[in-house]
Structures are given as structure tokens and as C-alpha cells.
Amino acid sequence: MIVGYARVSTEDQNLELQTDALQKAGCEVIKSDKASGAREDRPGLESALRLLNSGDTLIVWKLDRLGRSVKHLIEVATALRNQGVHFKSVKDNIDTSTVTGRFFFNVMASFAEMEKELIQERTKAGLAAAKDRGRIGGRPKRMTPSKLEAAERLLIDGIPIKDVARSLEISVPTLYRYFPISTMSNSGHRSKK
């Protein structure tokens, strides 16, 4: 049996490119996941691996679709080999049923890991450079200084926290983040000290 496995990282990404390539490669069954490669729980991959028996082949579109890291890729490939299952990668032109294919698998897995680490390094460097220029990533703060001042005045005046949150167009948990419950009286208002 020839089993294909496809994976995209997010729900809004499309699996069609991979599944079309896997069908052309002769896959009889194709399992898939929409999850980060870093996640350990990938039901599609687990299902694909359960289908395989000695003499079968697992095919992926590209190496990085299968493993979380070089170590994980090699663990999966070794487990498949011990089970008598072959592994192929369409884009990387790898076929572990041959000695050369096994060699290239290890080389390509190392390149995939190196590429991932380089991307992480570039991302960190970019974030550090942006921070040095005064730009900080992430979502903008919901509580501006004027909102904080207004919230404090309303809470001191005894307005219920739900009403304060609604009038400032923020959530109650956001309000509690700035005005912890320990600063509120039993009635849910900010304690006057």
C-alpha cells in the first residue's frame, strides 16, 4: 500500500497542492493534518502510520511536512525502516528504499533543520532591531492612559465593573488586569483608601 501524508500549519492554508502531488505519486490513501509541525498530536500522521505494514510506502510532498526536527524526522524514518516501510519525499526526491535515498534523506533533514534555525535567528534579529528603533510587536494595548484614568474615576464613583468595562469597550478580565480584585471592595468597586 502507498500512503500519503499532507500537512499545513494553519486552518486557512490549503492542502490541495500537496494532495494533488501525492495522488500523482500513486498514493492509495492520503491522511492530512492542519497543525503546526511542532505539535506532537497530529491525528492524520498517527492514522497514516497505523495503516503501514512491511513493504508499504509512506510518501510526503516535502520533508518538513513530516517532522518537527531533524531528530524527529530521523526517528520516524528509522521506525519506518525497522517496520520494513519505505519513505519517499516528492519535492526532495528522496526514496529510502535505496542506500542513496537514505543518505540524501539524512542530508536533506539536516538542511531542513538548518533552514528552520536560520529563520528563527532572522526573526529574533528583526525583532531586536525593531525594538532598538522603539517598535514593539504584539497587539496594541487596549488600555490607554486616558482609559485607565477614566476607569479609575468610574470605579471610585462606585460604578459596577461590568458597566465600566462596557463603557470603555474592554472586557472585564482586561479591567481586572489593571485593577486587580484585591483593590476592589466586596461589592466589586475599587476600594477608597
* 20 and 105 within one domain: yes
Whether 142 has a pLDDT exceeding 80, the answer reads no
| 90/167 Cα distance (integer angstroms) | 56
* 15 and 105 within one domain: yes
Query: 97 an active-site residue?
Result: no
Catalytic residue (one of 9, 36, 54, 185): 9
* Cell 529574533 -> residue: 124
* 13 and 94 within one domain: yes
* Cell 505494514 -> residue: 53
* 111 and 164 within one domain: no
End residue of a domain, out of 117, 132, 157: 117
End residue of a domain, out of 68, 99, 117: 117
DSSP code string of 50-75 = HH--TT-EEEESSGGGT-SSHHHHHH
| 73/172 Cα distance (integer angstroms) | 45
162-188: pLDDT as tens digits: 999 898 888 888 888 888 875 555 444
CATH code for position 103: 3.40.50.1390
* 161 and 67 within one domain: no
Whether 193 has a pLDDT exceeding 50, the answer reads no
1-57: pLDDT as tens digits: 999 999 988 776 888 999 999 999 999 999 998 877 666 778 898 999 999 999 999
